[in-house]
Structure 1
Amino acid sequence: MSWTVMPAFESYERARESFSWDLPDEYNPAVDFLRKHEDTSQTALRYETPEGGLETYSFDELDDRSDRLAAALADLGVGAGDRVGVVIPQKPGNPITHLANWKLGAVSVPLTVLFGRDALQYRLADSEAKAVVVDPSVRETVDEIREECPALEAVIELDDGDAVRGDAHSFEELIAAHEPGIDVYDATPETPTAIMYTSGSTGPPKGVRHSHALWLGRAAAAYNYFDGGLADGEATLWTPADWAWGAALGGTLFAAWHHGCSVVGWPRDEFDPDDVYDLLERHDVTEAFMPPTALRLLMGVDDPEDRYDLSIRTFASAGEPLTSEVVDWVGSTFDDVAINEFYGQTELNLVVGNAARWFDTRPGSMGKPLPGYEIAVVDPETGERLERGEVGELAVKPGDRRVFFDEYHGLPEKTANKRTEDVPASGASGESEEQRSSGRWFLTDDLVERDEDGYVWFHSRADDVILTSGYRVGPTEVEDAVLAHEAVEQAGVVGVPDETRGEAIKAFVKPAVDDYDPEGLRAEIRDLVRDRLAEYEYPKHIEFVERLPTTTTGKIRRRSLREGDGTDE
């Protein structure tokens, strides 16, 4: 029982030609992640507690505890198809709950402890969660919204029995009161696995329902963007990203366990670069998924390879485009460390990326389509395929439909709008003619350009495009130019109404320094953008802010910038 979904192809071209999805007839991720390994006594999870203690869990121990929790959930009335919310940070209870759900055939709803009252209530109610397992930090919020979530019958809190109040159940007491040995649900790749909510950057969050095939798709992608470093099962992975985020949960945590590797869990409220380097050294972390913001913070530490005994081999990054300064910093700071950006969506798995072992990373590029996917750049209005070098909407077709989402929960029209039959196939994915002529394409709402060498370059979300003086400007390009200034830490760019231009470009800038001359810095930023881009792409308005609104996955929430108050400077 291997369920290995990505052989070690020697070249990108060979992988594109030869790879095909070969999903098993029967598949339960709890069995895949815990029971298939040759040595299930090896460490799967190293958990550093907030108090500084260390707990280790083998695959066997995770299997035992998730068995017991599954039995407890069954006693509380949870069965196949029921939804169970998981509102836990990087603690063992997070994956244990997911594994227990799948052993019952229940559907997980990953949620972050960063959500406020309304955000949490919306998702628990919309998903019709029957039970929720929560961290103590959000227990009070769950109590407040309980009556607004009519399907919610049981609350389980991570804590010892003495600290659990009211009608909530103690996680540890439930596990202690039940035995392992539950019959695992007879599942397939088509069995519903999770409802994962979109970030809400372009509208109300949508519940994206996936089947178990999702995890095999993420494991295959991770094998590539971690440069094959998961192949021997001896890698150690870590990410600062919340395990509620799909790229952290499926593309790091569960991808590691699929390949028999270990993961470090380290819940922290703040990202301190020196503490992060200490962690990487302590645990001999070899592969790290680091969002671009985290990498930029790491850049503030001088000579990390001299100061720390690091084992890092690969940084993988996603969530927003990597700027060239980050890529250059990795290359100049570390010896033999790859930096691989990748791209995906909550709905569509991880479909485009860089793999340094196969081809050179081009700073700012999303990379090339990963094996198993065909892509096209299409005219957003006509749906016709565009030529290389033209900007259009990215459309993606998987070699196996099941590795993409099944539906938006309760939103059939939006589900239908995400798919199209009309994009002609190019035959570049190594599929047969019969395979290329069948199956659905999926639209991303992301505007990209594909160059002559096959690299894909992100421009913007379709509804983020700025129309100024007759020109179409993607905000990402302007943000990258603004970020090139050494005094800028973060930047978000939007269009604002302008009587003369239709829209003017406005940049919201978080400075990287406390002491600066606003007018002087505005002038320097404008000159820098003019020099790097075009005269019409410079930000007419620049507003300095203490922070930028972001989604829980770290993306700049441009809609909030457009709708928020602020002075035009």
Structure 2
Amino acid sequence: MTWTVMPTFEDYTQARAAFEWDLPDAFNPAVDFLRKHDDTSRTALRYEDPDSGLETYSFDDLDDRSDRLAAALAGLGVEAGDRVGAVVPQKPENPITHLANWKLGAVSVPLTVLFGRDALQYRLSDSEATAVVVDPSVRETVEEIRDECPDLEHVIELGTDDSVSGNARAFDDLLAAHDPGLEVYDATPATPSAIMYTSGSTGPPKGVRHSHALWLGRAAAAYNYFDQGLEPGETTLWTPADWAWGAALGGTLFAAWHHGCTIVGWPRDGFDPEAAYDLMARHDVDKAFMPPTALRMLMSVDDPEDRFDLSLETFASAGEPLTSEVVDWVDATFESVSVNEFYGQTELNLVVGNSDAWFDTRPGSMGKPFPGYEVRVLDPDGDEELETGEVGELAVKPGDRRVFFDEYWKLPEKTAEKQTDSGWFRTGDLVKRDADGYLWFVSRTDDVILTSGYRVGPMEVEEAILHHPDAEQAGVVGVPDETRGEAIKAYVQPATADYDPAQLREEIRDLVRERLAEYEYPQHIEFVEELPTTTTGKIQRRSLRNGGTPSDGTDD
């Protein structure tokens, strides 16, 4: 199979049987994303600068700029295998940095501008990054931690010498001082590509080192959850998610370029649903990766198809289960827009999902395994495969080992623990599979609440609470209880300031009892103005268990 586009399968069963990974012997993602297309003068990136307006970049433009940056990095002493961080929002310099790294054989470390001091320091120090490209918004933070990152030799700030001060080098001036035409590093699918950090749910964040095959795996998944509709030169994609997040970087941005499509970049501090609709209309966005929180915010806008000239065909979503209200809203609001939920991990690519082209979405379901992967539901305390309907740990086996992570950076024991002797990768996620093959997320293994002998997944309770119209967001944890062992406590962010606490508590408890089970209702409910969240919008249950402290910018 030639990795220009994914093969199209009309039937899911046929796709599962016929698809095989056939990775090329030589592969450099910078070449794949920029140079293999029939017309490299086509627009690859439409960037809306908050200050100067619209900028467009062709594949040729990005190739030229990443060549120049690669030459500049080489001049600073960056070599193959060195780690280079990128702390840049949805700006062209973000992918240009990654592309330049790979042209040198260097390893990218994607980081978000939402990280605070400690989060940035830990990741830059742990990855032993020798250089980092930063947005002006985080320059002071990086300077503050620079002495605590002993390997960090070079800080490159976006801008020119006129705007950059101190010991940082100016991104624009570095590009201007070097020429394109660099000889690209001779890479393969197994060449080290990126270190992406986990959320740190069971301790300090772990660096997950991937090879270049990662991007092929993400491009394959995107082709499926975008309903096999990524047409070169025709499809335009957008996501409000930070390009440091794997599903946005690999599953949207680089997936678009692998398939020869256009991506929209639009850095913003927050999410405004009216402005989001306007952006998608102006750029004829037809495929959007939209986290569930963003979808719920889009629901607040009345009659979007009447008010905006939309070209939307598919919403893809991940990060938390979609409630039936969201799926029903998409069906009722848009004439022909599908919504496909999918699932993946930092370590294991995007492996399970829905595709409206193949089968009906079941609200709240993770979907079915994508072609190229096998899944099992295992006993959490052993390797025994469980029966349909039983809750167990999701395990995944890829058809090609290279599309999964290579190692936890400097943690060989943790790496070994992730994979069984028979080649199955344990996800740490509890799921169940129904009779039709759909997988349903229950909880992380370390978030399970043991109450009165029952195992309760907090996400399931959270989803039930969110069915109440007066509940904007919810986080559920277990708290010590003398009788039950653990009691269920819900932190709820009300949707309005006008509510009766006693009445809302009882309505939520009744709702959970009704939707789930008697033993799953929250014995304790605390109303809060805001819940602590990770940089990707997930509830920080660890913070809630510690008393509901505000988010510090690290993932839970």
TM-score, reference length from structure 1? 0.95
Match of 1:471 in 2: 454
Give 1:565 deviation, angstroms: 5.1
Partner SS, residue 99 of structure 1: helix
Structure 1 residues 22 and 2, CA gap change in structure 2 (3 angstroms): closer
The question of whether the paired residues in 1 share the 8 Å contact of 2:243 and 2:249 is answered with: yes
Partner SS, residue 548 of structure 1: coil
Give 1:233 deviation, angstroms: 4.0
Q: Distance in 1 between matches of 2:417 and 2:546?
A: 26
Give 1:530 deviation, angstroms: 1.2
Is 1:399 equivalent to 2:382 in the alignment?
Answer: no
Q: Distance in 1 between matches of 2:478 and 2:12?
A: 39
Give 1:232 deviation, angstroms: 4.2
Q: Distance in 2 between matches of 1:477 and 1:83?
A: 39
Match of 1:59 in 2: 59
Of residues 490, 493, 504, the one that matches 1:521 is 504
Give 1:483 deviation, angstroms: 0.3
Give 1:476 deviation, angstroms: 1.4
Deviates more, 1:197-206 or 1:303-312: 197-206
Deviations 1:256-315 (A, max 9, x none): 000000000000001011010110111010000000000000001111111111001000
Structure 1, gaps ≥5 residues long = 423-439
Q: Distance in 2 between matches of 1:550 and 1:404?
A: 27
Q: Distance in 1 between matches of 2:546 and 2:203?
A: 12
Matches within 5 A, 1:59-458: 59-422=59-422, 440-458=423-441
Give 1:557 deviation, angstroms: 1.4
Structure 2, gaps ≥5 residues long = 550-556
Partner SS, residue 162 of structure 2: helix
Partner SS, residue 26 of structure 1: coil
Which amino acid in the other structure matches residue 443 of structure 1? Answer: R
Q: Distance in 2 between matches of 1:369 and 1:548?
A: 32
The question of whether the paired residues in 2 share the 8 Å contact of 1:2 and 1:36 is answered with: no
Give 1:202 deviation, angstroms: 3.2
Q: Distance in 2 between matches of 1:203 and 1:265?
A: 33
Give 1:52 deviation, angstroms: 5.6
Give 1:231 deviation, angstroms: 3.5
Give 1:379 deviation, angstroms: 0.2
The question of whether the paired residues in 2 share the 8 Å contact of 1:391 and 1:447 is answered with: yes
Q: Distance in 2 between matches of 1:44 and 1:237?
A: 10
Deviates more, 1:1-10 or 1:344-353: 1-10
Deviations 1:201-248 (A, max 9, x none): 332100000000000000000000000110344110000000000000
Give 1:2 deviation, angstroms: 5.1
The question of whether the paired residues in 1 share the 8 Å contact of 2:47 and 2:266 is answered with: yes
Give 1:535 deviation, angstroms: 1.1
Q: Distance in 2 between matches of 1:301 and 1:2?
A: 43
Is 1:538 equivalent to 2:511 in the alignment?
Answer: no
Q: Distance in 1 between matches of 2:15 and 2:203?
A: 37
Which amino acid in the other structure matches residue 558 of structure 1? Answer: R
Q: Distance in 2 between matches of 1:410 and 1:336?
A: 48
Match of 1:425 in 2: none
Q: Distance in 1 between matches of 2:424 and 2:233?
A: 34
The question of whether the paired residues in 2 share the 8 Å contact of 1:85 and 1:111 is answered with: yes
Give 1:551 deviation, angstroms: 1.4
Partner SS, residue 150 of structure 1: coil
Q: Distance in 2 between matches of 1:52 and 1:291?
A: 28
Which amino acid in the other structure matches residue 222 of structure 1? Answer: A
Q: Distance in 2 between matches of 1:294 and 1:2?
A: 36
Identity of aligned residues (%): 79
Which amino acid in the other structure matches residue 70 of structure 2? Answer: A
The question of whether the paired residues in 2 share the 8 Å contact of 1:323 and 1:363 is answered with: yes
- Structure 1 residue runs of 4+, over 3 Å off? none
Structure 1 residues 68 and 502, CA gap change in structure 2 (3 angstroms): same
The question of whether the paired residues in 1 share the 8 Å contact of 2:478 and 2:487 is answered with: yes
Which amino acid in the other structure matches residue 109 of structure 1? Answer: V
The question of whether the paired residues in 2 share the 8 Å contact of 1:459 and 1:474 is answered with: yes
Which amino acid in the other structure matches residue 14 of structure 1? Answer: Q
Deviates more, 1:34-43 or 1:3-12: 3-12
Of residues 479, 495, 501, the one that matches 2:484 is 501
Which amino acid in the other structure matches residue 484 of structure 1? Answer: H
Structure 1 residues 470 and 80, CA gap change in structure 2 (3 angstroms): same
Deviates more, 1:352-361 or 1:51-60: 51-60
Deviations 1:528-560 (A, max 9, x none): 111111111111111111111111121111111
The question of whether the paired residues in 1 share the 8 Å contact of 2:45 and 2:265 is answered with: yes
Deviations 1:422-462 (A, max 9, x none): 4xxxxxxxxxxxxxxxxx11000000001110000000000
Q: Distance in 2 between matches of 1:232 and 1:361?
A: 26
Which amino acid in the other structure matches residue 494 of structure 1? Answer: V
TM-score, reference length from structure 2? 0.98
**How many aligned positions are there?**
549
Structure 1 residues 231 and 421, CA gap change in structure 2 (3 angstroms): farther
Match of 2:36 in 1: 36
Match of 1:551 in 2: 534
The question of whether the paired residues in 2 share the 8 Å contact of 1:108 and 1:193 is answered with: yes
Partner SS, residue 64 of structure 1: helix
Deviations 1:48-82 (A, max 9, x none): 01226010000000000000000000000001000
Partner SS, residue 161 of structure 1: coil
Is 1:4 equivalent to 2:4 in the alignment?
Answer: yes
Q: Could you say what the CA RMSD is over the residues aligned between the two structures, in angstroms?
A: 1.1
Q: Distance in 2 between matches of 1:565 and 1:457?
A: 28
Give 1:103 deviation, angstroms: 0.2
Match of 1:429 in 2: none
Which amino acid in the other structure matches residue 446 of structure 2? Answer: D
